[in-house]
Amino acid sequence: MKGFGIRREGDELRVEAQPEDLPKRKHALLQAMLAVNDMFVMGQEHVLSLFLEDVEGFLRAHAVRYVAHIKLTGRSGFDHHFDFAIPASNKRPERLLRAINSPSRDTIEVLCFAWSDTREVRAPDAQALAVLNDTERQIGAEALQALRAYQITPVPWSMRERFVDDLVA
């Protein structure tokens, strides 16, 4: 919850806000709740590590330069969390990644908004990628279409090796 500026007290997620920053703080709380939900959906007996850790391990295994857990402020003034940022190089633009363990309409909509809000304040050639866990169930065509409509590259976990060259460069 640290990446969202939210604290946990017992079984509760808590955030403090002033009237002038209530919308931003509420947005951060909702993003934290979605992240918790994403972790909750995983079956404990089937998962040896969190999907995010698997994605980070994959990036490390392929020597991808990245910054983990970044917050970017969008045009709306809302802060958006991305799991990884891969800096621009001579060959490739900046890439922002979000790992989605349980792709659903809600998680896809949140990413689409985050990217559309953030992209206007990034370099014009910046790119977004959604790393989607498809090990438990297939990703729906509707979700993939929505991501592409917002120029977010879907990266199904089962096909991650096909994207190594795009990530390393």
Q: Which domain holds residue 111?
A: 48-168
Q: Would residue 22 count as lying in a domain? A: no
CATH number of domain containing 121: 3.40.1350.10
Q: Which residue has the higher pLDDT, 122 or 10?
A: 122
How many domains, the chain? 1
Per-residue pLDDT of 90-133, as tens digits, reads 999 999 999 998 888 999 999 999 999 999 899 999 999 999 99
Residue 25 has pLDDT above 90, yes or no: no
Q: Would residue 98 count as lying in a domain? A: yes
- As a whole-number percent, the residues of the chain with pLDDT over 70 amount to 90
Distance CA 167, CA 169 (A): 6
Residue 40 has pLDDT above 80, yes or no: no
Distance CA 117, CA 138 (A): 28
Q: Would residue 163 count as lying in a domain? A: yes
Place 48 in a pLDDT band, splitting at 50, 70 and 90. Answer: very low
Give me the count of residues in the chain. 169
β-pair partners for 130: 98, 154
- As a whole-number percent, the residues of the chain with pLDDT over 90 amount to 60
Q: Would residue 57 count as lying in a domain? A: yes
What does DSSP assign to residue 49? S
Q: Would residue 32 count as lying in a domain? A: no
Q: Would residue 40 count as lying in a domain? A: no
Q: Would residue 64 count as lying in a domain? A: yes
98-101: Cβ within 8 A, 24+ apart? 98/128, 98/129, 98/130, 98/131, 99/51, 99/52, 99/55, 99/131, 99/133, 100/38, 100/130, 100/131, 100/132, 100/133, 101/38, 101/39, 101/41, 101/42, 101/50, 101/51, 101/52, 101/133
Q: Which residue has the higher pLDDT, 114 or 21?
A: 114
Query: Residue 15: its pLDDT value, please?
Result: 85
Q: What is the mean pLDDT of residues 34-50?
A: 56
Alpha-carbon separation of residue 57 from 51, 53, 70, 92, 129 (angstroms): 10, 6, 18, 21, 17
Q: Would residue 4 count as lying in a domain? A: no
